[in-house]
């Protein structure tokens, strides 16, 4: 191969020079540094969305179980510890109003993801055998301030989600 000044080059000239590789790595580093905060913001939004969807799934599950088993179920929420769990009325004829934790897969206490908080005006939602749900509202907020408002109407199966920010 002939170089630009007319002399033959020695050896195989395929490949990149060290300077070219350093420049490419430098450009990739700059672009990664710019893009990383954007991905972090999206991840934070996804965390609060996922927490909201999990609570909605548990609400729907509770409503179905209450109707199928003809028992009152209750979604309990601890606003201080950012956790929630499901209970069922123990024996409505003998001891009405006494709830115990549900057995099986749904018996565990669920914690919200790190950085997601929940607040509301009622620390529980009751699901009745006729399909009704107590009226309740919860606000889930992530550390960046993105909020989702989740509300249940005092009707049959009404659940609303509003993304505020």
The reported pTM is: 0.71
Residue 18 lies in a domain: no
Structural domain harbouring 103: 26-163
Q: pLDDT per residue over 46-79, tens digit each?
A: 888 889 899 999 999 999 999 999 999 999 999 9
Least Cα distance to 141 among 63, 79, 75 occurs for: 79
Nearest-5° Cα angle at 95, 58 to 57: 5
Residue 21 lies in a domain: no
Strand, coil or helix: 36: helix
Residue 58 lies in a domain: yes
Domain tally for the chain? 1
Q: For position 36, which CATH number holds?
A: 3.55.40.10
Residue 16 lies in a domain: no
Residue 80 lies in a domain: yes
Asked if pLDDT for residue 39 goes beyond 80, the answer is no
What's the whole-number mean pLDDT along residues 82-108?
Answer: 81
Distance CA 152, CA 120 (A): 12
Residue 101 lies in a domain: yes
State CA 34 to chain mean position distance.
Answer: 25
Distance CA 47, CA 89 (A): 31
Q: pLDDT per residue over 101-129, tens digit each?
A: 888 777 789 999 988 999 988 888 999 99
Residue 2 lies in a domain: no
């Amino acid at each position: 191969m002939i170089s630009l000044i007319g002399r033959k080059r020695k050896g195989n000239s395929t490949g990149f020079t060290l300077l070219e590789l350093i420049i490419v790595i430098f450009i990739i580093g700059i672009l990664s540094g710019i893009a990383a905060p954007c991905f972090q913001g999206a991840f934070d939004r996804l965390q609060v969305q996922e927490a909201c969807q999990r609570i909605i799934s548990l609400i729907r599950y509770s409503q179905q179980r209450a109707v199928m088993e003809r028992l009152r179920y209750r979604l309990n929420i601890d606003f201080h510890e950012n956790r929630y769990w499901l209970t069922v009325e123990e024996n409505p004829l003998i001891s009405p109003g006494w709830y115990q934790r549900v057995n099986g897969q749904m018996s565990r206490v669920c914690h919200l993801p790190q950085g997601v908080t929940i607040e509301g005006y009622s620390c529980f939602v009751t699901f009745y055998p006729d399909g009704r749900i107590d009226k309740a509202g919860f606000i889930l907020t992530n550390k960046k301030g993105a909020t989702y408002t989740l509300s249940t109407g005092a009707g049959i199966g009404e659940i609303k989600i509003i993304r505020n920010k």
